[in-house]
Structure 1
Amino acid sequence: MAFAPQDPRTPDPNDPVVHEGRVDYVPTAISVTRARRHAARLIADWGHPALADDVALIVSELATNAMRHGSIPGRLFRVQLTLTKTRLRIAVSDPRGERLPRPRHPSPRDRHGRGLLIVRALADRWGVRERTTGKEIWAELDLTASLPADRCTNEP
């Protein structure tokens, strides 16, 4: 089974960051809930309420993986949202760099193992970036179909 794709992207000077937010969490189940709610609220505040449910689900899946598979006692995981004019990047980092994600193909009876499949279905791109300590799993949503409410018009 293949590992997640590596992150080939470098910052695009023609697509500057408009908003950015990050929060560090203790690797517990309640932190996953808090991360999901915070991400949904943040993206709505940034003018993209139509993306809030997808963002919440992606954050929930990636944060759950960080809690279950990437945690080390006494170390936090981070959720970071970065909005540019053309895309939203969701990144969750954890301290376990030796445990790279692998999408699974669970059977209907399996209770777990669908998180990365959900992320892959919702995101336009996703992958992993190795860090000096740990790893970052990221997903990106293109904003071309989701203009902020204050930019939508009824003009032809």
Structure 2
Amino acid sequence: MACMINRYPCEDSPWLGAMTLHPVPESVARARRWFRKFITPYNPACSVDDCTLMISELVTNAILYGQSDEDWVVHVEWYREGTSLRVEVHNPGFPAGVRLRRASANDAHSRGLFLVDSIAESWHSGPSRFGGTVVSFVVADAWPS
């Protein structure tokens, strides 16, 4: 199975959806497609294109930097917090390794968190409840108040 999606949150829950992805390059495109598909019914006022770009960058980083001696997966979850959208990307990597880097003009990589930092209202990294690392971002005014 390439991934698993949970898409039926409780009515009173801020949880909107989740997906579990294998750490393979094809999962980045799946994450974009599935987020777009499952966020659309909630009719967000924010740019879904911006959100899918940030998810793409964070899933790519999770796949590149996730580490485990056993089989592992990347968890992506999204929540409504008042009028904001929060997206979390979890992997088994070490939390202290997440940092914003400024790429030089010649670098082909190292722009993911810079993009998230530029687009999102805020972002955070730390220990994941699944073990490893979570990197999350918040998009303000994703829904009318």
Q: TM-score, normalised by structure 2?
A: 0.81
1:74 aligns with: 71
> Structure 1 residues 38, 102: closer, same or farther in 2, change over 3 A?
same
Q: Is the 8 A contact 2:124 2:136 kept in 1?
A: yes
Match status 1:51 vs 2:73: no
Corresponding residue to 1:139 among 134, 137, 140: 137
| Runs of 4+ in structure 1 over 3 Å off | 16-19
1:29 aligns with: 25
Q: CA deviation at 1:97?
A: 2.3
How do 1:1-156 residues align onto structure 2 when only pairs under 5 Å count?
17-48=13-44, 50-72=46-68, 74-98=71-95, 100-131=97-128, 133-143=131-141, 146-147=143-144
Deviations 1:99-145 (A, max 9, x none): 5211111111100000000000110010112135101000001126x
Q: Is the 8 A contact 2:95 2:132 kept in 1?
A: yes
3-state secondary structure, aligned to 1:110: coil
Structure 1 stretches lacking a partner, 5+ long: 1-15, 152-156
Counterparts of 1:71 and 1:143, CA distance in 2: 34
1:11 aligns with: none
Q: Percent of aligned pairs with the same residue?
A: 28
